[in-house]
């Protein structure tokens, strides 16, 4: 199972990559594997505010629909528009081409509370 060491993780199976004051967010390889073939991803509009712990969208697979939970507070600066036409990118490359949103961080302290790759690996074991 692919769990990159340079990312932070949530118990809800989202990953976060921080670059300066921007956080890129997606779902983990484990989560996409549990969901199966992803057929639709619903994301908020650019400019929308998200709050840690609240839902920011949904992901629909052949067998289930799941909420996407915001791991941080902030304003959405970019969404992955490629997922409109190719939701399967989340299955194929969850940590790369399958990213979901980019957010301007309002509280970087929340990142410190997230799981490391080792802690996430233990959580899903």
Strands (E), 8-122: 8-9, 14-19, 22-27, 38-42, 49-50, 55-61, 65-69, 74-79, 101-105
- Do the beta carbons of residue 67 and residue 36 sit within 8 Å? no
Kindly report, residue by residue over 36-66, the tens digit of the pLDDT.
999 999 999 999 999 999 999 999 999 899 9
Kindly report, residue by residue over 5-43, the tens digit of the pLDDT.
999 999 999 999 999 999 999 999 999 999 999 999 999
Instruction: Name all domains of the chain by residue range, CATH numbers in brackets.
Output: 8-124 (2.40.50.100)
Record the pTM. Answer: 0.96
Residue 24: CA count within 13 A, CB half-sphere = 13
């Amino acid at each position: 199972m692919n769990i990159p060491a340079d990312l932070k993780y949530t118990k809800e199976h989202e990953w976060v990559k921080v670059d300066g004051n921007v956080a890129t967010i997606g779902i983990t390889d484990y989560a996409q594997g549990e969901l199966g073939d992803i057929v639709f991803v619903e994301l908020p509009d650019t400019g929308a505010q998200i709050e840690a712990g609240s839902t920011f969208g949904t992901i629909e697979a052949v067998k289930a629909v799941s909420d996407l939970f915001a791991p941080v507070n902030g304003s959405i600066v970019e969404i992955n528009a490629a997922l409109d036409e190719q939701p399967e990118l989340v299955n194929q490359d969850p940590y790369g081409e399958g990213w979901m949103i980019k957010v301007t961080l309002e509280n970087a302290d929340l990142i410190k509370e997230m799981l490391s790759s080792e802690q996430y690996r233990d959580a899903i074991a």
